[in-house]
Amino acid sequence: MYAVEISIQKIVGNAFEGLIEDYIENRVGELDNFLDEDLSKNLKENLLLLLAEKQFKAAGIGNNKKLLKDKSIRSDLIYWLNRDRNNIHENSFFDHMDAFVIYLNKTCYTGITGYEFHYAYYDEGSSYKRHLDQFNDNSDRAFSMIMYLNENWKSEDGGELCIYHRDSSQIISPLNGKCVFFKSSELEHEVLLNHKPRMSITGWLKTN
């Protein structure tokens, strides 16, 4: 049993290393199957159940008293995740993120002390205009992470993530299980118009 656990830890560590190396080389880390097929499926089912129960709320722009809701800028719906729900699949996701944070801090000395994540649901015809993932009055967000929950996504479905570099832009399709990882204060990005419902877990690794 111990040998099996060591083998699993090695596989997970190699996956984390691949995401981090891609980030270091390209300023954006991409990794297919960061969430395995079963976990992605179960998280998607949770998301759709919460959506049917009308637990989602319209997402806003800004924070605290400066929060603004404008569908012409951002038209997704969100549901904030936490361990208090005691959902086995969501807690498995948090366990995975805990392992990633430990690995990231150990190998890159990033000093991450916490995180926040939410489900994001983009109904058909939704988008999120170009923006930066950091507030003017709060720099706690160190890294942005997006993990997609879209099975059988095709190019004609739209909904790509467009990340803006200094002299170019990068287009990333929201494929099931894929993770995208980048520094929150550096790269503006947008979610392009989608032509069928688009789902993800989106969040930020934070420092004090």
pLDDT tier at 136, thresholds 50, 70, 90: confident
Backbone φ and ψ for 204, nearest 5 degrees, come out as -140, 140
Cβ of 5: how many Cβ atoms within 10 Å? 9
The answer to whether the pTM exceeds 0.85 is yes
Query: What is the rounded distance in angstroms from the CA atom of residue 38 to the CA atom of residue 36?
Result: 6
Instruction: Give me the CATH number covering residue 177.
Output: 2.60.120.620
pLDDT tier, 2 (very low <50, low <70, confident <90, very high otherwise): very low
Residue 71's pLDDT is what? 77
Output the pLDDT for position 139. Answer: 85
Q: Average pLDDT, stretch 41-48?
A: 98
pLDDT the model gives residue 3: 39
Which neighbouring-strand residues pair with 149? none
- When divided into structural domains, the chain yields a total of 1
Q: Is the dihedral of CA 6, 9, 15, 18 positive or negative?
A: negative
| Distance separating alpha carbons of residues 115 and 133, to the nearest angstrom | 14
In angstroms, rounded to a whole number, what is the distance separating the alpha carbons of residues 47 and 40? Answer: 10
Residue 123 C-alpha from the chain's centroid: 17
Domain that holds residue 15: 2-206
